[in-house]
Amino acid sequence: MTDNKNTFNSWHRAFAELLRELFTPLNLAVFPELPVMAKPPQVDILFFRREQAVWTTEQFERLPDGIRQCKAAYILLEFKYTESVNKEAFVQALTYDYLYKRHQKLTDKQVQTFIVSAKKPHPSTRKKWGYETAVYQGVYKSHNELLKRIPLISLNELDRKRHNAYFKLFASHKVERENAFKMLEREGLPLIPEPLESLLSGLRLLRGEQDMRELTPKEVMELGRKWGKHYLSRLSAEDIAAIPTEKRLAGIPSKERLAGIPSKEIRAYLRTLK
């Protein structure tokens, strides 16, 4: 994990950190704010398929529609969280796509760029830029000659299936985020470090697009941290005991974990590990 101050300075960076925690253990490299040439501009997020020619089962289970069907080795994501999809977003995506391939000497088949929008793009905007064909629910392709290779993913519109849930945690509609959280909770969220866990807790509390525009990732993270303390303060001892040990102890230094335990008991426990 990188330093807090640098990790959550923007929404696309926060989104990238979630993807990095999810996919790095699965042998997928995820690079936030990757330069597309020797000097800026920078693309929001890069997925790099490290070794295998196809997605592994574990990767496939966490990738959303549109991306999971992609065969390119390099996947660029232009992520729009508080901003609506507009002309600037399409120009940026086209520019990054072109410059990255040229700078890295890669072909069209090796690189695939997506625009990922937390908000539902307005139908008139989609129509204006040729995004009228839904390949999968919430995944649009354009018949515009310039944009036909840049699919558009609308997080609010993605099907409510588990493989879409991780991305839908960043959808603008609260009902979509909550559905994704509940789906993942039923099947078990992977352990993720603080402060990312606080950020996700804060996202769960956001009411809608107004909160998205007014709050920074750092403020949402603090909201989630305070909510977590309030929630835990209302739990009974039995409820707390039911929380998996690794979740309760995550992020707590070893010295603090052992505080209050008699040294005799610690030595006895250590002997059982030998």
More confidently predicted of 255 and 196: 196
DSSP 8-state secondary structure symbol assigned to residue 69: T
Can you say whether the dihedral through the CA atoms of 18, 19, 23, 29 is positive or negative? Answer: negative
pLDDT band at 242 (very low <50, low <70, confident <90, very high): very low
Cβ atoms of 25 and 204 closer than 8 Å = no
Cα 56-152-142 angle, rounded to 5 deg: 115
83 dihedral zone (left: phi>0; alpha: psi -120 to 50; beta): beta
The count of other CB atoms within 10 Å of the CB of residue 8 is: 22
pLDDT digits (tens, 9 = 90+) for 140-190: 999 999 999 999 999 999 999 999 999 999 999 999 999 999 998 887 777
Name beta bridge partners: 139: 136, 153
More confidently predicted of 167 and 34: 167
pLDDT digits (tens, 9 = 90+) for 84-104: 899 999 999 999 999 999 988
Write down the pLDDT at residue 240: 40
pLDDT digits (tens, 9 = 90+) for 248-273: 444 444 554 445 545 555 555 555 55
Cα 252-17-105 angle, rounded to 5 deg: 145
pLDDT band at 204 (very low <50, low <70, confident <90, very high): confident
Write down the pLDDT at residue 159: 96
Distance CA 3, CA 54 (A): 33
Nearest to 187 by CA among 39, 93, 61: 61
CA 113 from chain centre, in angstroms, equals: 16
Cα 184-190-192 angle, rounded to 5 deg: 120
Give every CB contact of residue 107 below 8 A, 6+ residues apart in sequence: 101
Pairing of strands 74-80, 139-142: unpaired
Q: What's the token pair of residue 200?
A: 């996700």
In terms of residues, how long is the chain?
274
Distance CA 10, CA 85 (A): 17
pLDDT digits (tens, 9 = 90+) for 3-30: 444 455 678 888 888 888 888 888 888 8
For 87-100, letters b (16+ CB in 10 Å) and e give eebbebbbebbeeb
